[in-house]
Amino acid sequence: MAEPLRPATRAVHAGRPPHDPDQPLSTPITMASTYVAGGDREYGRTGNPTWQAFEAALGDLEGGRALAFSSGLAAVSTVLGLVAHGATVVAPRVSYNGTLLQLADLESRGRVVTNLIEAEDTDGFVKAMDDDVALVWLESPTNPSLELSDIATIAAAAHEAGASVVVDNTFATPLLQQPLGLGADIVVHSATKLIGGHSDLLMGAVVVGDDALWEVLKGRRDLQGAIPGTLEAWLALRGLRTLHLRVERAQANAAELARRLADHPAVAEVRYPGFGAMVSVLVAGGPDAADRVCGSTRLWIYTTSLGGVESTLERRRRWAHEPKEVPDNLVRLSVGIEDVEDLWADLGAALDGTAG
Ligand SMILES: *Cc1c(COP(=O)(O)O)cnc(C)c1O
């Protein structure tokens, strides 16, 4: 029997048209609002061959079946919509603010009860499991604190209590972590970030192992209409084809920068989980000094979002809706694929400038 293909090979090849004469190598952009009657798609809201190529590739890498959504938050909202009225959702206290805001909104309307736990407090998650818990939401590493959750242990405890487990895998990407293999039921992505990888699209995805659950989620997407644009799906798939190369380079850069930042006198603390493209630093001079760093780099771009080929940074607490537990001097670095010496020269100079 042939050996299973390795992830880098699958990132390049999964979801392509068959190797038949005159087939294009890449699935083209199909612009269609409707299809001739009698097939599976019928209407543009219920399916598109370009989305399906992206879904086949991402599903292959995550080890499940994927569905593309119009944004990461559309994917989050569709998954949270699975929770029965009044049931409990357990989630990390400090994680992506859009997810926390959706949970707070649902709770304020009596739709769900939320129980927020520190991401790294595995015992806390395990002890939180009772009959009321319907869903355990994890994000690992977390945005922007870069904390890690013990997915396998928490998933086992959740399943014993009859709850489902979701992992937002945006920061790890399917190349560095496959949550379905660790026991999660659902994976969520903001494909806007590393999967797209070029800061030129918004898209989200959900990946599940269970066919019946896939049908339920597909039904919700058909009905609610949170579908991606065709061009976005095509760009996201193009991004996915080089994900392994970009992650490898960005991760090497991030690890080197984390090492150097730890020795810089203007840095009070470096948070780097040991893998991935994201590094967070606490700037010694406080929030004003952190703002000066963001405002004085020339190569690093001061912007929100992350996961592009270009290195970017931002002080997260500049946003009023960022959790208050995030230190006000935390600068989140999204490390790109440039030459690390150029990145260090620019960042180091910006940090030098905060003294005094
Ligand atoms: C950006 C982000 C989201 C939301 O994705 P959008 O594509 O911006 O809607 C969800 N989770 C994490 C971890 C993110 O970084």
Q: Indicate which atom in ligand 1 lies nearest the CA of residue 142.
A: 13
CA of 288 to the centre of ligand 1 (A): 26
Residue 73 pLDDT class (50, 70, 90 cuts): very high
Q: Best of 101, 171, 187, 190 to mutate for ligand 1, by most ligand atoms within 8 A of CB?
A: 190
Residue 354 pLDDT class (50, 70, 90 cuts): confident
Residue burial 115-126, b: 16+ Cβ < 10 Å; e: rest:
bbbbbebbebbb
Q: Is 308 in the pocket of ligand 1 (CB under 6 A)?
A: no
pLDDT by residue (tens digit) across 215-264? 999 999 999 999 999 999 999 999 999 999 999 999 999 999 999 999 99
- Catalytic site residues? 45, 96, 168, 193
Round to the nearest angstrom and report the end-to-end CA distance of the chain. 66
Protein residue closest via CA to atom 8 of ligand 1: 72
Q: Are 54 and 201 in contact (CB under 8 A)?
A: no
Residue 189 DSSP class: E
CA of 333 to the centre of ligand 1 (A): 16
Residue 3 pLDDT class (50, 70, 90 cuts): confident
Q: Indicate which atom in ligand 1 lies nearest the CA of residue 305.
A: 1
pLDDT by residue (tens digit) across 185-224? 999 999 999 999 999 999 999 999 999 999 999 999 999 9
**7-240 under CATH 3.40.50.2000, yes or no:** no
Instruction: Work out the mean pLDDT of the chain and round it to a whole number.
Output: 97
Q: Is 204 in the pocket of ligand 1 (CB under 6 A)?
A: yes
CA of 309 to the centre of ligand 1 (A): 17
d(Cα 278, Cα 227) in Å, to the nearest integer?
Answer: 28
The whole-number pLDDT of residue 2 equals 77
The whole-number pLDDT of residue 106 equals 98
CA of 190 to the centre of ligand 1 (A): 5
Q: Is 202 in the pocket of ligand 1 (CB under 6 A)?
A: yes
Residue 355 pLDDT class (50, 70, 90 cuts): low
Q: Indicate which atom in ligand 1 lies nearest the CA of residue 202.
A: 7
Q: Best of 170, 321, 322 to mutate for ligand 1, by most ligand atoms within 8 A of CB?
A: 170
**Phi, then psi, of 8 in degrees rounded to 5:** -65, -40
Residue 43 DSSP class: B
Residue 276 pLDDT class (50, 70, 90 cuts): very high
Q: Boundaries of CATH 3.40.640.10 in the chain?
A: 7-240
Q: Best of 95, 143, 304 to mutate for ligand 1, by most ligand atoms within 8 A of CB?
A: 143
Q: Is 69 in the pocket of ligand 1 (CB under 6 A)?
A: no
Q: Are 310 and 199 in contact (CB under 8 A)?
A: yes
pLDDT by residue (tens digit) across 313-347? 999 999 999 999 999 999 999 999 999 999 999 99
Dihedral angle computed from the Cα positions of residues 237, 239, 244 and 250, in that order, rounded to the nearest 10 degrees: -160
**244-355 under CATH 1.10.10.10, yes or no:** no
What is the DSSP annotation of 305-334?
---SSS-EEEEGGGSTTS-TTS-TTEEEEE
Q: Boundaries of CATH 3.90.1150.10 in the chain?
A: 244-355
Q: Is 232 in the pocket of ligand 1 (CB under 6 A)?
A: no
Q: What is the mean pLDDT of residues 148-171?
A: 98
The whole-number pLDDT of residue 356 equals 52
The whole-number pLDDT of residue 1 equals 59
Protein residue closest via CA to atom 2 of ligand 1: 190
Dihedral angle computed from the Cα positions of residues 202, 78, 113 and 100, in that order, rounded to the nearest 10 degrees: 0
pLDDT by residue (tens digit) across 46-68? 999 999 999 999 999 999 999 99
Q: What is the mean pLDDT of residues 287-310?
A: 98
Half-sphere exposure of 172 (CA within 13 A, CB side): 24
Q: Are 32 and 43 in contact (CB under 8 A)?
A: no
